[in-house]
Structure 1
Amino acid sequence: MSLLPPTPALEAWPRCLAQLEHEFPSEDIHTWLRPLQADARDRALVLYAPNAFVVEQVRERFLPRIRELLDHYAGSRDVAIEVGALKRAAPSPAMGSSHVRSNEPAFHGNLDNQYVFENFVEGRSNQLARAAAWQASQSPGDRAHNPLLLYGATGLGKTHLMFAAGNELLARNPSAKVLYLRAREFMDGFTKALYDPTAGGTDAFRRQFQGLDALLIDDIQFFAGKDRTQEEFFHTFNALFDGRQQIILTCDRYPREVAGLEDRLKSRLSWGLPVAIDPPDYETRAQIVLSKARERGVPLPDDVANLIAKKMRSSVRDLEGALNTLIARANFTGRPITLEFAQETLRDVLRDHSVGIGQIQKAVADYYGLQTKELTGKKRTRSLARPRQIAMSLARELTDLSLPEIGNAFEGRDHTTVLHACRQIRTLLETDGKLHEDWEKLLRKLSE
């Protein structure tokens, strides 16, 4: 990957990226385009992606528009997207390389070794996050995924992937120093350093981060409004980033949506690779339930796993909770776990997690600034047609209603209209970045 002198195509890439930021949702830009590294090869533009999944997504979603913009700014449409990274200098001993620590005592970084990539159930909702965490464990500190920020609602697997990356990094380099902290632990430690004379002061607090190979911090939304903690974390972040040490963070939402986080910290968090984890789809939920049952050594019929997956859509923790309830009740009563037993045991739990079509209609109407009666009414204006199709598709996804029943909830529309809406939205989700963003936000809202 030898670097050539800048070409017009390479020089045009920042202008292309700036224009793309005006045309696509910000989450798409930070997830797919910001991780790309630009280089020149034979006077063509080469964009290096951290993994094959990003390559595929960029080619499908953005490549035609990238070529148009490159042609406009540089008079060339010659661009390649490949897995790789620009060469970086090898870390010096001052950056914490492992060979200078051979006589040091074992480092204990609070990792939970039960969470590994092998027992993480992968699906469409977490595929990119899993790939990004794996890449961070294989080449820690690489600018394409440093920092790696995993964000999404509670109980979707962010912490599992964080631990998996840390454990894989240790498997590759047993002498590595990988430290895991919850955001509250960072805050409490810093506060103690400030006010407890026996804690050794802020210098002692900062020394624990020197020489780390990776720092993992969970739930950084708890830094919001804590100005002195944010100031300290800002400097810790900069020191690790400049030393090319890997940083992995989790947050319950995209950091720019967290009120009380300083703008400069939000900016730092967008430097690397922010990746959303969405609620798992039906197939993934069923596989998670079956996987957890196998880990517990409990034979679980497929129809029971499907029942739980169909009714519970919010988080992996809820799925585990339902499974634990089933297992405990079966052990207590001595009864086998059957579909009838599951329906009886989980009756109240499943009812609490059901989503009604009225909730879906109101959520979609509120999201698009409409009245519910407009969404369900007879008007076919462009501003109503797409939200109505989304609402029908969400009803198909999140309820047990038949196509005719969904149609009846929209002033007696025919079931073929509902079927067309579902097919249309499913197709657009693969090509329309803004609609995909709307869909995921509505799913998260309805799963809360």
Structure 2
Amino acid sequence: MTDKDELWLKISNTFKQEMSDLNFNTWIAPLKPLYLTNTEFILLSPNRFTKKTIYNKYYDDIQKYLDFISNVKRKVVIIDRYEMDNYKDENIIQNQNIDGQRSILVSEEVAEDEKYTVEDKKPETKQPEEKTDLSPYGKNLISKYKFDTFVKGKNNELALAAALAVAQNPATAYNPLFIHGKAGLGKTHLMHAIAHEILKNNPKARVIYTTSESFTNELISSIGDKSTKKNSQFREKYRNIDVLLIDDIQFIAGKQGTQEEFFHTFNELYNHNKQIILSSDRPPKEIKTLEERLVSRFEWGLMADIQPPDYETRVAIINEYLDRNNTSLTPEIIDYIAMNVKSNIRELEGAVMNVVGQKTLIGDGNITLDLAKNVLKQLIADTQLRPVTIDLIIESVCDRYNVSQDDLLSKKRSKQIAYPRQIAMYVSRKLLDISLVSIASSFGKDHSTVMHGIKKIENDIKKSSEFDEEIDNLINYIQNS
């Protein structure tokens, strides 16, 4: 087993223990380890939709697990098949192995009998990334996510000020603190920074950071245990602490058992003057199927939103990233990236990383603006919003469910084709201001077939919160394409 395969097996097994089989098989299992370099771990996504969802929901956890497992600091990069051409030159990559030995890695596209190892000079011993070890409750924190690496801007002033206040005086400033904003804008960074600061000021503080999905899975595991001991341990863990931070709290929506347990956990902590910090991709009132009693409690404290960064903040983020990685780019390239990658910090850093990676491959360290533009051509094209049309919806559904457009628009009735077709009809009705007759015409069907398809998807959404989430992800992907 190659190093990249071994690393990915460990990371994916961690995910498998912490998420439902459906989510694991939908999002994590399709990813394939492609390349392992001295600075990057490159994963191949089967399509753009999966890649975008991974970046929005699971990227931080993949990076966290990689940092924890490997002694070599690497950045996770996720590409899809359309970006493969950008990595053609990396079929053979010199690589720092997990055990510190040097070798040549060959991509899976190269024949097995062409793989070989080479002698090389003894590499410098790389020290593992320093990890937070201030408290037994803070061992899963990402060390780089601290206040001194968080770039302040007009887009995040309130959230940053509130986070600092809570970190300095837990349970006295804002309780709960509810941070909301779209994916990739720094919510998780602030959550970790708060925990780091509290533990720095009080190493004995009982601080737990987790995600709503991990909280749910732990709860399910404790309930599934035949004895009451595990359930008691679960409640002891989450109720006998000083600070609770839960990321992506919106994912408890629709999960009745989880909401019930968290309601009592919230009350126990709040009534004993313990700090609660929550993050979400939207304000409490906009979280569908979240119980009203939780909505009201989430609004008891301060709600602070984070918006996409403006130009000046994007430049500052780029410079901070370059400083942190001991590298540089010309002002013209920095300006080009800041002007063209506007959606979130994650994509901004991804753009910088791609250019820096190309700079490293060149060898002499020089990279022109034209070369940077070529490297970023596909990424920037992906970030430019396209108007939502029925063609875009069909294209996105086909990409997500691995169906050809010819099949989707054909008369074929197999479930593998008919169900994505019904999803496309439902999404068209939801996003476009057009009649059922127009939708029917676009799909080559009659009015009654479209009505049946839409009704089918509506019923399935009501039956399954996971399917509801899947459709929400698809709609968000289409709206941000």
TM class by smaller structure = 0.5 to 0.7
Structural mapping, 1:11-410, within 5 Å: 106-142=136-172, 144-197=173-226, 200-334=229-363, 335-355=365-385
Moved more, 350-359 or 235-244: 350-359
SS in 2 for 1:208: helix
In the alignment, is the contact (CA less than 8 A) between 1:109 and 1:179 conserved in 2?
no
Aligned to 2:467: none
Partner Cα distance (2:220, 2:388) in 1: 47
What residue in structure 1 maps to residue 124 of structure 2?
Answer: none
> Could you say what the CA RMSD is over the residues aligned between the two structures, in angstroms?
2.6
Tell me, yes or no, if the aligned pair for 2:181 and 2:282 is still in contact at 8 Å.
yes
- 1:403-418 to 2 correspondence within 5 Å? none
Cα shift at 1:358: 10
Which one scores higher on RCO, CA 8 angstroms, separation ≥ 6?
1
Classify 1:445/1:146 alpha carbon distance in 2 versus 1 (closer, same or farther; 3 Å).
farther
- How many Å separate the matches in 2 of 1:317 and 1:282? 15
The sequence identity of aligned pairs, in percent, is: 40
* Equivalent-residue separation in structure 1 for 2:136 and 2:258 (angstroms): 28
Deviations 1:130-151 (A, max 9, x none): 0000000011012x41000100
Deviation at 1:306, TM superposition (A): 1.4
What is the aligned partner in structure 2 of residue 432 from structure 1? Answer: none
SS at match of 1:313: coil
In 1, Cα distance between the equivalents of 2:240 and 2:179? Answer: 24
The answer to whether the 8 A contact 1:111-1:179 is kept is: no
Q: Cα distance 1:330–1:297, how it changes in 2: closer, same or farther (>3 A)?
A: same
Q: CA separation in 2, counterparts of 1:358 and 1:210?
A: 46
Q: CA deviation at 1:228?
A: 0.5
Relative to structure 1, the CA distance from residue 115 to residue 190 in structure 2 (aligned partners, 3 Å threshold; closer, same or farther) is same
Residues 57-90 of structure 1, C-alpha deviations (whole Å, 9 max, x = no match): xxxxxxxxxxxxxxxxxxxxxxxxxxxxxxxxxx
The structure-2 alpha-carbon separation of the partners of 1:121 and 1:202, relative to structure 1 and needing over 3 Å to count, comes to: same
- Is the Cα contact below 8 Å between 2:388 and 2:478 reproduced in 1? no
Alignment of 1:420-439 (within 5 A): none
Cα 1:221–1:357, aligned 2, differ >3 Å: closer, same or farther? Answer: closer
TM-score, length basis structure 2: 0.51
Post-superposition CA distance 1:219-257 (Å, at most 9, x none):
011101000100000100111111111111100001110
Q: 1:221/1:167 Cα in 2 relative to 1: closer, same or farther (>3 Å)?
A: same
Task: State the shift of 1:303 in Å.
Answer: 1.7
Distance of aligned partners of 1:242 and 1:290 in 2 relative to their CA distance in 1, 3 Å threshold: same
Q: CA deviation at 1:447?
A: 6.1
Contact kept? 2:178, 2:302, Cα under 8 Å:
yes
CA distance in 2, matches of 1:183, 1:220: 5
Is residue 212–residue 248 contact of structure 2 (8 Å, CA) maintained in 1?
Answer: yes
Would the alpha carbon gap of residues 214 and 358 (structure 1) be closer, same or farther in structure 2, given more than 3 Å must change?
closer
Q: Any conservation in 2 of the 1:178–1:212 contact (CA below 8 Å)? A: yes
Structure 1 pair 370–114 and aligned structure 2 pair: CA distance change class (3 A): same
Structure 1: runs of 5 or more not aligned: 1-104, 360-368, 372-443
> Would you say the 8 A contact 1:109–1:178 is kept in 2?
no
> What is the rounded CA distance, in whole Å, between the counterparts of 2:274 and 2:166 in structure 1?
11
What is the CA–CA distance in structure 1 between the aligned matches of 2:136 and 2:384, rounded to whole Å?
A: 49
Give TM-score, length-normalised by structure 1: 0.55
CA distance in 1, matches of 2:285, 2:249: 12
**Shift of residue 299, structure 1, vs aligned partner:** 1.1
Amino acid corresponding to residue 342 of structure 1 in structure 2: A
